[in-house]
Amino acid sequence: MKGNLYIIAGCSGVGKGTLLKLFLEKNPEIKLSVSATTRAPREGEKDGINYFFVSRDDFKKSVDNNEFLEWAEFSGNLYGTKKSFVEKTLNKGIDLILEIEVQGAKQVKTAMPEAISIFIMPPSIEELEARLRGRHTESEEAIQKRLHEVNREIEEGKNFDYRIINDKLENALLNLQNIFNSKRKENADG
């Protein structure tokens, strides 16, 4: 049986990364897709682990060769998911998570309507801004750009199959686990 495809999106700084890290530690059989990006690596990020860091030219070539299941420009950088990686993983019966932004999520849902989409919501815009600043990884300009996206993203979040508010990490984690458990039960029940 093929694996399930999950799309997880949410506003930047919403704590998606931490949530997913904990979730994957508890569910090591589930795989997280590694995207290609033209963004420069942040401190500690490794090529092939966090992302495949590629040039804009190489990224464009992959677009022209129709290699991406989805791709999008976000905050001035290109991000994309390779079709071959998704197909191979699902065909092995492995459940796969795409941690992507909302434009890409829409493209995946159109191409693969069976994908399960989950949107992670911030408790409030103020909280989100504080988290972005607390990260100390982006310039003021980058933070402003990202906050600009937030309202549009929340609007898009309404089209997702599930929404989780990341107010308390352990609650969000439990909600996420429940979605996966109910999907597994559905599969088992046939």
Answer yes or no whether residue 81 interacts with ligand 5GP by CB under 6 A: yes
> Which one, 4 or 38, has the nearer CB to ligand 5GP?
38
Q: How far apart are the first and last CA of the chain?
A: 11
Cα 22 from chain centroid (whole Å): 15
- Minimum distance, C-beta of residue 1 to ligand 5GP, in the bound complex (Å): 25
Length of the chain: 190
Q: How far is the CB of 124 from ligand 5GP (least distance, A)?
A: 19
Radius of gyration, CA atoms only, the chain = 16
Q: How is residue 48 annotated by DSSP?
A: T
Helix and strand numbers (H, E) in the chain are 7, 9
The CB density around residue 21, as the number of other CB atoms within 10 Å, is: 10
- Rule CB under 6 A: is residue 6 a binding residue for ligand 5GP? no
Interface map 107-146 toward ligand 5GP (x if CB under 6 A): ----------------------------------------
Residues forming contacts to ligand 5GP in the complex (CB under 6 A) are 12, 35, 39, 70, 72, 74, 79-81, 99-101, 103-104
